[in-house]
Amino acid sequence: MSTSSVSKGCFVFKPSAKKKKRTLDVGDYFIDGCEGSGNSELRFKLCQSLWDKMKTETEVLQDELNRKILDRLLEFAGRPSSTFQHGADDWAARMRASEIPTAALVLGVNVPDHDMTFQSLSDLLRQSVTPHVASVQAKECGALKHLMQRVLERLMGTVVSVDEEEEGDEEAEHASTQLHNKRVHCSLGTLCDWYKSKTKRSNNGTPNKKRSSHVRDEQPQPPVVIIFKDLEAFNPRVLQDFILICSRYVEHLPLMFIFGIATSPSTIQHILPHSVSSLLCIELFQSLSCTQHLSTVIDKLILTPQFPFKLSGKVLQVLVGIFLYHDFSVRNFIKGLQLSLLEHFHSQPLSVLCCRKKEALANVLQLSHQDLESVRQLPSFRRYVERQEPQEQVNLLTDDTHIKGVCQKLIKGLRKYHKNFYPILRCLHTLTSSLPKYPLGKQIRELYILCLEKNVWENEEYQSAMQLLRMLARDELVASLQTCAEILKPVKAKKMRNVLDQLEDLLVSGETAANGEEITSPEKGLQKKTDLFQLQKTLLEMKESRRSKKMSPFEILRNEAVDFIDSLVRCYLAPPESQPLNEVCYYSSSAVVRRHLNATPRTSIQTALTAACSTCCATGGISNAAPDICIVHKLHLECGRLINLYDWLEGGHLEIEYVQTTCARKMPDDDNAVFIAVSELEFLGFIKSTKQKTDHVARLTWGGC
């Protein structure tokens, strides 16, 4: 704060009410570093609303995908436990060993995604089956008593918050001021008593209702579900002991386990010996594979005209690459999508136009002169301008109102392009995905990336796919054309309606052609025994005759159909680069995404160290900014696995002396400088002290100059 006073003194500043109230929220951060801050607030709003829509869409998707397995699990949990509910009168129940029902839930190696599944699972269990659900993670259960403590806390603590002292059992530091008889021990016996009182109370609480609804099963016994989120990470001893203890109480307590398994169910057998696993009644539940999950997410979020925000081929490739090569995590993929969405709205001032049609058209009218200038600088727009008449070109480059009108037109065009693009893409995929060797990729995302990169019909793979299509059997072709028709049916765009009509015509004529087709049997001539020469001759003749033979009606029709598809592709599957104003919707800086999501800390350190060094070497004099650590690092690269500190020091002296002579840099204490640099290098993980040789340090990296 500054005053206009000349003299020194104390001044009272009343805090302005406005400033105090305002705390920095997400929006402010967004707006602060934004480029072209004129419309940053609007962009932030657009970004948020778009992301909210996408998020709800993914959540709905997640629920749908998990529904099947969760339903099965709920059914499993709701099933009355055989050992607990049967009376003593049932012979088989009396004879059978009491087992704890256990669900082995195989979720795949994408551990970050599991949390969401477990969250919805425990929510659903709480809603429909039992209030008693506890989930534990391996990292919080190092020892048996911790596991016990967590389980008890989560089961009892959620309902009764009164007895908090039960956790203080092993914490002797707690002053033992509580009354002794109130103390609760960390044992399953306690849980058992609690459960009994709980069920009894709930029964007594509403006796009339209960009696009327549960006439046959006199006591509803909700199971106690314990979820082990990551089975692999648990200490086997702890788990074994816990199961042994639980099995002692299974007559009194309807326990149930859910094991979350990341690898394969046989880990259960690795972790638990037979004596323990024989106490469990394990049932297997396999969840959807994460690649399928990803395809659905891409299908619903990216391959749809519903969301105006689009990823360019490169960015999508980076995101898919991270998924396939590194983590298999759908959650991380969606996070990456969110990041690129945020980056797009943050860095592209024209992203105000990346919203629904009405808003976009309205926003075009609000564009400032500066914005319009940036429109004019868009490469796609410049290409568009070049194609226009000279007079029109001048108009576009000078007249602001005119360009607004053109922009509106172009935005509409872009929307239409998207509306037509995806249905045709899907059609092409259905046609080519059944071809041998998958010339255009097995997954639709591969085809999509191809189409984004360049004109797909210029690809060699596309040509070969078309050739293969021309050889397709009738029933296959008809089936895939029918699926194409199915895809096109719900699309409302006018052009697609026309396409659909044409396609249906083709299908109908295909039917008639099939009826009229005569059956030829080329094998007829081969039946009698012949020698090799004659066989060759007849085969050649047959080939000749076939070539010259008139094509059957079906073949003509097939060619027609393939040509039709080809024309559709050429018409509608042009890459987005060809569309003017595509920069508004497409986010293309893959390097940024890669830098954020797949960081290379080691490379950055390395380049930081060597780059500073190389500048000094190249110019002959080390700039004053080049720190000692660079020199030390450079020297260490010349050494072997073990580095003699004395030699290093000498080398350092030489170098530093050189530095001092060349640029007269002040060095207070040479030895110290080198030692500090050495310890910095150790901190960065390049070297470590070793006991193998005195006065030596070991290198932790390999290679060098």
**Rounded least distance, CB 631 to other proteins, Å:** 23
Q: Under the phi-then-psi rule, with left for phi > 0, alpha for psi from -120 to 50, and beta for the rest, what region is 279?
A: alpha
Shortest reach from residue 91's CB to other proteins, in Å: 5
Instruction: Compute the least distance from the CB of residue 600 to other proteins, in Å.
Output: 5
Phi, psi of 383, deg, nearest 5: -60, -40
Using an 8 Å Cβ cutoff, are 558 and 509 in contact?
no
The residue behind tokens 């595509």 is 582
- The size of the chain, in residues, is 705
Rounded least distance, CB 253 to other proteins, Å:
13
Shortest approach of other proteins to residue 233 CB, angstroms? 5
**Separation of alpha carbons 628 and 536, rounded Å:** 82
The β-bridge relationship of strands 310-311 and 586-587 is parallel
Strands 280-286 and 133-136: unpaired
Integer angstrom CA distances of residue 323 from 292, 297, 332, 335, 398: 12, 12, 8, 11, 46
Residue in the block written with tokens 């001021």: 177
In the bound state with other proteins, the residue whose beta carbon lies nearer, of 289 and 467, is 289
Q: Which is nearer to other proteins, 214 or 237 (CB)?
A: 237
Contacts of 171 (CB under 8 A, 6+ apart): none
Residues linked to residue 688 through DSSP beta bridges, in sequence order: 698
Residue 129 CB, nearest distance to other proteins (Å)?
17
- By C-alpha distance, which of 27, 23, 24, 22 is closest to 41? 27
φ, ψ (nearest 5 deg) of residue 643:
-115, 125
Of 676 and 698, CB closest to other proteins: 698
Residue 534 buriedness (CB in 10 A; 0-12 / 13-18 / 19+): exposed
- Give 102 or 432: the residue with its C-beta nearer to other proteins: 102
Question: Which backbone phi and psi does 594 adopt, to 5 degrees?
Answer: -65, -40
| Nearer to other proteins (CB atom), residue 249 or residue 421 | 249
How does DSSP assign 100-163, residue by residue? Answer: EEEEEEE--S-HHHHHHHHHHHHHHHHHHT-S-EEEE-GGG-SSHHHHHHHHHHHHHHTT--S-
List phi, psi (to 5°) of 172: -75, -20
> In whole angstroms, how close is the CB of 320 to other proteins at the nearest point?
11
List 228's β-bridge partners, or say none: 136, 259
Question: What are the φ/ψ torsions at residue 599 (nearest 5 degrees)?
Answer: -70, 150
Give SS3 for 432: helix
Smallest separation, CB 109 to other proteins (Å): 6
Closest approach of Cβ 456 to other proteins, in Å?
Answer: 25
669 contact partners, CB below 8 Å, separation of at least 6: none
- Which DSSP category does 168 fall into? G
Q: Which amino acid is present at 693?
A: K
Q: Smallest distance from the beta carbon of 593 to other proteins, in angstroms? A: 13
Q: Which two tokens stand for residue 237?
A: 């001893």
Structure tokens at 82: 């055989």
- Closest distance to other proteins from the beta carbon of 603 (Å): 6
Smallest gap from residue 214 Cβ to other proteins (A):
24
Least Å distance, CB 283 to other proteins, is 5
Single-letter amino acid, residue 410: L
Work out whether strand 687-689 and strand 696-699 pair parallel, antiparallel, or are unpaired. Answer: antiparallel
Three-state DSSP class for residue 531: coil
Residue 581 near residue 353, CB atoms below 8 Å? yes
Six token digits for residue 100: 């704890």
Minimum CB separation from other proteins for residue 254, in Å? 15
CB of 147 to other proteins, least distance (A): 9
What are the φ and ψ backbone dihedral angles of 152, each rounded to 5 degrees? Answer: -65, -45
Spatial separation of the C-alpha atoms in residues 149 and 164, rounded to whole Å: 11
Closer to other proteins by CB, 252 or 495: give it: 252
Residue 627 CB, nearest approach to other proteins (Å): 23
Specify burial of residue 474 (Cβ count, 10 A radius: 0-12, 13-18, 19+). middle
- Report yes or no: 384 and 582 within 8 Å, Cβ to Cβ: no
Distance between CA atoms of residues 283 and 76, nearest Å = 9
Query: CA 198, 199, 205: angle at the middle one, nearest 5?
Result: 85
